[in-house]
Structure 1
Amino acid sequence: MARITAGIATSHVPLLGVASDQGKDRDAYFGPIFAGYDWTRAWQQAEKPDVVILIYNDHASAFDMKIIPTFAIGCGERYASADEGWGARPVPDVEGHPDLAWHIAQSLVLDEFDMTIINEMDVDHGLTVPLTMMYGKPAAWPTKVIPLAVNVVTYPPPSGNRCWALGEAIRRAVESYGEDLNVQIWGTGGMSHQLQGPRAGLINREWDNRFLDGLTGEGDDLRRIPHLEYLRETGSEGIEMVMWLVMRGALGKRTRALHRHYHVPCSNTAIGHLVLRPDNGEGLDMTDDGADLATAAA
């Protein structure tokens, strides 16, 4: 059967796509940010996931105020990079996995999640920047991707508890798929940041790192953080971190961290990155994890 073998959390700051596209990813400013992903890029070469379920939010590229799905799953064959106002990024198209995507969509709807099913859409930096951070600049992305968009732009966004439960339902869906597939799930967005108003530029390192701590182990306190706490402690855009909880919910009761990276600043936010493995409590299930839990906080 298919199985979820790992979860990845990462910020999806659009400026990182610009830095990569313009060859600035190793300069004095961006170098420490991209260096925090070197471990993951090497690890991914060994992991070779067949499919990534990529949890992200659309930034008025595929959706606008005419339609605001709380949860939308891409079931198409291919997704082009969106033009976000300065031309589409020069990155490969994203290849989907329609068979698995439709299976997950059916399973989620029967599991009482009202999913919006998308067969055609362009994908913006919320999805392409994480791929760049994990894979660099390949001629083609080395994995198929199932986009799953979460509304964290327009009130009301889903609760952390609902996102965690969605992850649990995704795990059940994947494990009921008959083909032998190595599946990863990525939660993207965040960390603390606010883009407008008197608190523009807000970064809360202490809260961010407590959130990273809470994704590891078997605690589930993060699913009960109310919207007002995200707003108060992490700024208006910090609510994006509920998307990380979809990833965490899909990994089962317990996780262990393989790699962690946190860096300030990147544009007007912080960079957070975490690689997690489901942990059944019986110790390491692979011998080549090479866990590296160093954090970077400039």
Structure 2
Amino acid sequence: MDHAKTEEPYWRPVFEGYEFSRAWEEENLPDVVFLVYNDHASAFDLSLIPTFVLGTGAAFATADEGYGPRPVPGIESDPELAAHIAHSLIRDDFDLTLANEMTVDHGLTVPLSLMFGDVGKWPCKVIPFHVNVVQYPVPSGARCFALGRALRKAIESYDRPLKVQVWGTGGMSHQLQGPRAGLINRAWDNAFLDRLVEDPVGLSRVPHLEYVEEAGSEGIELVMWLIARGAMSDLDGSGDVEVKHRFYHVPASNTAVGHLILENHTRAQEPAEGVK
């Protein structure tokens, strides 16, 4: 997108997979996106390795990742909702790092670009939530899934009527180094997408070693999707989810691209959260 290559034959199929999603976002524009992502040594490096970081500031600038910031706007956040979520999650025994100041890198801005396009300002507020999936030890899928369930409780207990979407991000199977560099596992990726919809509890129990063996060293990023899935109402019987869109594509550089929109339906209200 930054180099105007989206219509080139190699890249066109990737971006076509998000055309439905952009239309869906226009019809279901939230007040706030709670965006789960991982920093790539921009805000946090080996000198500081927090497991979960909740952005609690009013705004966050785009990071310079070594060649200047991406030509996209920074994000405006919702510090009041973020503070409420912080209180709720910490009371539920999740140890968070709270960041009033940090920069946000491509792990956060690329999903926004894919869903909202080339804009001068993002059309909603964004609360950044960083998960360490770079330096071991990293959190388990079960821990991320439980955090998602606690996140739903936090959002629903807020005393203002906001439309909130929860986005889980991260590449599917890929490995960037070593003898298996370039690894892509289509079958495992698609089984992950199946289980994320149909058996999220069982999927949350998949151990780290399976992610590494089957999806490559960077495939562990998929645990971040479980935070978003944990925020859905079907898990406690208060509603159900509807698959609005599913997309999977290889190649996209050296990473498999997968994308889901799960629309949350509760029995007491209209569709609330969309989960990416």
**1:151 paired residue among 132, 136, 139:** 132
Give distance in 1, aligned partners of 2:131 and 2:10. 31
Cα distance, 1:218 vs. partner? Answer: 5.5
Select the residue among 193, 198, 219 that pairs with 1:238.
Answer: 219
Name the structure 1 match of 2:165: 184
Give the structure 2 partner of residue 135 of structure 1.
116
Residue 147 of structure 1: SS of its match in structure 2?
strand
Which one is further off, 270-279 or 230-239? 270-279
Match of residue 261 from structure 1 = 247
- Does structure 1 residue 87 correspond to structure 2 residue 73? no
CA distance in 2, matches of 1:235, 1:94: 31
Aligned structure 1 segments of 4 or more residues deviating by more than 6 angstroms: none
**Residues 1:223 and 2:209 are matched in the alignment:** no
2:36 maps to what in 1? Answer: 55
Measure the CA separation in 1 of the matches of 2:80 and 2:231.
19
TM-score by length of 2: 0.94
CA distance in 2, matches of 1:160, 1:255: 20
The structure-2 alpha-carbon separation of the partners of 1:127 and 1:79, relative to structure 1 and needing over 3 Å to count, comes to same
- Kindly state the Cα deviation for residue 269 of structure 1 after the two structures are TM-superposed: 1.2
Gaps of 5+ in 2: none
Same amino acid, percent of matched pairs: 59
Aligned partner of 2:52 in structure 1 is: 71
Output the CA distance in 2 between the equivalents of 1:285 and 1:272.
27
Whole-Å Cα distance in 1 between the matches of residues 22 and 134 of structure 2? 30
Task: Count residues with an aligned counterpart.
Answer: 266
The CA distance in 2 between the partners of 1:242 and 1:28, in whole Å, is 31
Task: State the alpha-carbon separation in 2 of the partners of residues 140 and 266 from structure 1.
Answer: 26
Alignment partner, residue 13 of structure 2: 32
Q: Which whole-Å CA distance do the structure 2 matches of 1:258 and 1:89 have between them?
A: 30
The CA deviation at 1:217 is: 3.6
State the secondary structure of the residue aligned to 1:233: helix
Q: RMSD across aligned C-alpha pairs, in angstroms?
A: 1.4
Q: Which residue of 1 aligns with 2:91?
A: 110
**Residue 279 of structure 1: how far off its partner (Å):** 4.0
- Aligned-pair CA distance for 1:206: 0.2
What SS does the aligned partner of 1:137 have?
coil
Q: Is the 8 A contact 1:258 1:275 kept in 2?
A: yes
**Which SS does the other structure have where 2:188 is aligned?**
helix
- One-letter code of the match for 1:141? W
Pair 217,277 (structure 1): closer, same or farther in 2 beyond 3 Å: farther
Paired with 1:153 and 1:218, the residues of 2 have a C-alpha distance of 26
Deviations 1:17-58 (A, max 9, x none): xxx011111211111100000001011111110000000000
SS of the aligned residue for 1:88 comes to: coil
CA contact (8 A) 1:94 1:145 kept: yes
Question: 1 CA distance for matches of 2:261 and 2:86?
Answer: 25
- Tell me how far apart the structure 2 counterparts of residues 81 and 43 of structure 1 sit (CA, whole Å): 26
Q: Kindly provide the amino acid, as one letter, of the partner of residue 275 in structure 1.
A: I
Higher relative contact order structure (alpha carbons within 8 Å, sequence separation ≥ 6): 1
**Does structure 1 conserve the Cα–Cα contact (< 8 Å) formed by 2:31 and 2:164?**
yes
Shift of 1:219: 4.5
Distance 1:35 1:242, change over 3 A: same
Q: Is the 8 A contact 1:215 1:255 kept in 2?
A: no
Structure 1 position 272 matched with structure 2 position 245: no
- Give the Cα–Cα distance (whole angstroms) in 2 for the partners of residues 130 and 185 of structure 1: 12
In structure 2, do the counterparts of structure 1 residues 191 and 218 end up closer, same or farther at CA, with 3 Å as the change threshold? closer
- Gaps in structure 1 of 5+ consecutive residues: 1-19, 290-298
> Is the 2:200–2:229 Cα contact (8 Å) retained in structure 1?
no
Alignment of 1:39-50 (within 5 A): 39-50=20-31
Aligned letter for 1:97? D
